[in-house]
Structure 1
Amino acid sequence: MSFRDEFLRLLREDEEFRLTVLGLLGITDVQSSLRQLVSAVNELATGQLKVMEVLDKVLSITQSILEEIKKLTDNQNKLWEENNKIWQEIKAIKEENNKIWLEIKALRERADRHDYELSRLNRKLDALGARWGVNSEDAFRDAVKEFLSSAGYSVDKWSYFDDGGYVYGYPSQIDLDLVIKDNRLIVAEIKSSVSRGDLWALKRKVELYEMVTGVKVNEVYVITYYINERHPDVARKMAKGLGIRLVEPEELTS
């Protein structure tokens, strides 16, 4: 009989043997189960460590996200502050523009009043010319010449054809009124109105006269009752810079 057959017979016939074998088999199963349980616990612990590592990473990422959110919030607040500043500046610019427009309106009103006063002045000058009998420039010139002659001045006229265009830039007839007294030569341009262009042309006429005749002019006068410029003081300063003295009505009557 083989070992296997003997072992099976004992299991069938010997109850004590059978119980002993069953007990041995149970202990083996328990030991195996324990080993499996320990292995499972170890795997669970390892998995838990991995979960904790992942949680740490998640917490770190979450912290970074919170910091970025805080930065974005701070930046957003700064943007709102800057936006408010810009709106305040825009408001200030609008207010300044309104002030400028009000000033422009006031300037226009003053310009209108100036035009009105200038128109009134022109009418007064026309009336003055009519009363003196000098509506034309020639008549005004003759009246002033007569006044100078009666005051002891010698009045003469110099005429010259400027073929080189020294005065105006093209050939033209040049006339100068000369006033002589006590060996002093005075050029007196007598005009009912004068502009800055007239002053510059007179300066060139005097230079041409001195070049042609070789005679030095001592003084240059412009006798007029009206400065035909929007800003008469500019013409007065220009005349002074050119060495020309402007004689206006208040000087003639003072």
Structure 2
Amino acid sequence: MSNLKDELLRLLRENESFRMEVLRMLGIMDVNVALSQLTDSVNKLTKSIEDLREEVRKLWEENHRIWEEISKLREENRKIWEEIQKMREDIRELREENQKMWEEMGKLREENQKIWEEIRRLREENQKIWEEIRKLREEVNKLWEENHKIWEEIRKIWEEIHGLRKSHEDLIRIVKGVLKDLGGLSRTVGKLVEQDIRHYLPAWIRETYGITVDRVRRLKVNNIAEFDGYVETEDKILLMEIKTTLRTRDIKDMTEKIEKYRAQAPSGKTIIPMIIYTIEGEGPEKLINTAKLHGIMLIKHYGEYEFELINQ
């Protein structure tokens, strides 16, 4: 029995055909085939599952991308709707603008019609102007003829002027001599007027200020200022200029002399500057305003004891 077992084991190990026959008889061969087929099926299923898992993963990724794309599309769609809304608003504005343009075109057509009517009137006016120009040319021709005659007259006048120039030069020499004589006469009149005013001025001072003086004497201050009249009391000093004809420059000169005098005037006394005159050499208003500006009294002498304070 032991030998048989050993022999069988040997045959199973060494004899391939015997071993396969035994397996076939025992049904093990079919089991191996089935197992092999089952293993192949399991392997195929496993691979299919792996493939399915990969496919599912890809599907999830694709699904995620799709949702992202959907989100982008929604955002894009929102922007498109906003753009559409803007476009609708622009279209509405364009329609309104278009309506205004049509209205403006209507106005322009009316204006254009008026312009054409104005052009027609201008053409008619232009025609009239050309007719006037023709008439003016005729008048100009007449004027040229008249001008020629005038030049002839001018030539004759120049000849007369040439003769008059000699007479004019003679007259100038005569006038210069007369003016020289008048200058001396003017100075003489000025002195006479000053003497007349000086004679009656003390009475006016006595009446106006209550100061009794026999005469109005001159004042010369250290070669820096000279006044035609000077009266001094305990509390005031009257400084006077006497002019035949008063001008604004006389007022300004008086102001400058007063300023120079103030630097050496006695302290504590009121200085009252005044100009006594007989004739205004400029407009009275200008003289009065200038005197007020510089604080100078203007007294006009009408004759004898008649004096008048002008700028009260």
User: TM-score under structure 1 normalisation?
Assistant: 0.39
Larger radius of gyration: 2
User: TM-score under structure 2 normalisation?
Assistant: 0.33
